[in-house]
Amino acid sequence: MTHAFYVYASYGFAALVTVAVTLWTWADGRARRRELASLEAAGIRRRSARTRDGE
């Protein structure tokens, strides 16, 4: 095998890992945000938000 193989394999793997971790973090964030939104829609609010409403 040529040395280039090892170099490209390294860079490829690095790209794979960084992209995977980034995507995973981002997707996780999106899912959480969606859950928060659905909770909000269901009428459950944060305490501070509620007090601001003058509850």
Partner 1 sequence: MSETSLAISKFSDLANPTRFLALAARAIPWLAGITALCFAAGLYLSFATEGDYQQGETVRIMYIHVPAAWLSMMCYTIMSISAIGTLVWRHPLADVSAKSAAPLGAAFTLLALVTGSLWGKPMWGTWWVWDARLTSVFILFLMYLGLIALNRAIDDPSKAARVSAVLILVGFVNIPIIKFSVEWWNTLHQSASVMRLDGPAIDPEFLRPLFVMAIAFTLLFFTLHIMAMRNEIWRRRIAAQRRLAARMASREE
Would you tell me which residues interact with partner 1 (CB under 8 A)?
Answer: 3-4, 6-7, 9-11, 13-14, 17-18, 20-22, 25-26, 28-29, 32-33, 35-36, 39, 42, 44, 46-48
Provide, rounded to whole angstroms, the least separation between the CB of residue 9 and partner 1. Answer: 5
- Using CB atoms within 10 A of its CB, is residue 45 exposed (0-12), middle (13-18) or buried (19+)? middle
Provide, rounded to whole angstroms, the least separation between the CB of residue 4 and partner 1. Answer: 6
CA angle 11, 19, 22 (to 5 degrees): 140
Provide, rounded to whole angstroms, the least separation between the CB of residue 39 and partner 1. Answer: 5
| Whole-number Å distance between alpha carbons of 38 and 23 | 22
